[in-house]
Amino acid sequence: MRAEVDAGASTRRACRRVGTVAGVHPGTVLAWWRGSARPADPAGAAVETGRGLPRGRALAVTRLVAVLGLALLGADLTVGDVLPVAGVAVAGLLPVWAVALGRYPGARAVLLLTAAALASGLVLVLLPGAREVEPRYAVATATRTLAVVLGFGFTLWCRWFLPREAVALAYGAGALAVNLTHLPGSANGWKYQLALPVTIVVLAAAQRVRGRAGTAVVLAALAGLGALSIVHDYRSFFGFAALTALVVGWQAVSAARRRHRRRHRRRHRRRPGATLATWVASGTLLAVGGFTLYRAAEQLLLSGALGTVLQERSQAQVRAAGSLLAGGRPEWAGTWSLMRHDPAGFGPGAVPRPQDVLVAREGLATVGVGADNGYVDNYMFGGQFRLHSTVADAWSNFGWVGVAFALLLAGLLVRALLDHLTDRTADALVLLLGLRALWDLAFGPMYSNLPDVALALALALRPRAPRLTAARAPAGRGRRRAAAAG
């Protein structure tokens, strides 16, 4: 129903089409739509506000709390590097926003698996023969993980009162304000401080422009963000921007073709039961497009078309590891060796032993990382395990329960993205953040990138459709069918 309305169909025509496909009376569809439709925001965007929520002045106060909380989450401030300020704030509001978890598929499972992962990490550090633990690192890892997941739930609640673009804008503004203070002395300000918050703010603002002009503005914004990423040696982010632009353009062409078809054909019925096929088609398109862009970017980098500095670095990575991916992210080679040697994991704050470093070096040597490498000694095993992957760090800190937690986030994110792609409603903000989150799950440090993954998932998840019952269906044939379906 949402896809039909977004494509330009009137409510009556959309109800008739959806009812024809689903075998339900159009009046029943209309009753469901009126009961679950999201009221319009004053600025024109849809808000996922449900029945029984505050109105008037109470709604204004609630939105203010939501905006301040989102900005605090984006700022990511900590006290003594161990106590997240936003985590304390959203934890205090837990009784308020916990009700939102039931409306989004998988949200409750995320919180439950987080608790199980923290318990698993505690068991790992208390086992006989466990590694020495640095208490400060252990507390920081546990509190940050918990704070990020609580912030995920809070963000879902905020979507009841704010349009998606406003949620992203508040979060991005908070992140940008704090990251600007970290620019002095940064080795690459765009890559490490500005790329993500600027992208969130720019795309959130661009998506407020509706229609074909909005698509043009979004594509122009993606082109600018991609160009900045190439200039500042952020190759992966350039790939995300390019793939996002490809999908946004494809959706715009598909929408134009549907409008043309409807003008020339009075009735156009979608085939029922095509959900799995469209999921496969959307996933295949995304995978093929991503692989094609990766190969094209690889050729551009190796040929020197994007600059001699990037060419020399890329050629060195290919010579060492055989590919840009393995050469750019060699930490997984060391992680596999550690997993084979000690599969249970180590626990939060565990201090690496000399034997752990030797085992990891054996794996790193297979991708051309030599023994005299300060990155390995000072970062990966400098007082704690930093494996530069959210999945790998989750295993190191919380064992296989942590891996299950990370894979749950990945599965929910993939499903949400495929849902949007199937309905042709994947906007640039959700798609780019979702693609980057999947990359971070595989190749981004858990401590710094888990908040970005949580934000992407909170923006991508779609609320469950309310259950249609006979009480909400109109009288007659529609009421009887709704009762039978319920």
pLDDT tens-place values along the chain, 486 residues long: 565 555 555 666 677 766 666 656 666 666 665 555 444 333 334 455 444 566 678 888 999 999 999 999 999 999 988 899 999 999 999 999 999 999 999 999 999 999 999 999 999 999 988 899 999 999 999 999 999 999 999 999 999 889 999 999 999 999 999 999 999 888 899 999 999 999 999 999 999 988 888 899 999 999 999 999 988 888 889 889 988 998 898 888 877 776 666 666 544 444 444 456 666 666 666 666 666 665 665 555 555 555 565 555 555 555 554 555 555 567 888 899 999 999 999 999 999 999 999 999 888 887 776 666 777 888 889 889 999 899 999 999 999 999 999 999 999 999 999 888 888 788 999 999 999 999 999 989 999 999 999 999 999 999 886 544 434 444 444 444 433 333
> What's the number of CA atoms in the CB half-sphere (13 Å) around residue 219?
14
- Residue 208: strand, helix, or coil: coil
Six-digit token pair at 470?
């006979």
Closest among 423, 419, 424 to 253, alpha carbons compared:
424
CB 229 within 8 A of CB 190: yes
Q: Report the C-alpha gap between 204 and 170 in whole angstroms.
A: 10
CB 244 within 8 A of CB 428: yes
CB 350 within 8 A of CB 396: yes
Q: Report the C-alpha gap between 306 and 299 in whole angstroms.
A: 10
Six-digit token pair at 251?
């959706």
Q: Report the C-alpha gap between 402 and 392 in whole angstroms.
A: 9
pTM over cut 0.85: no
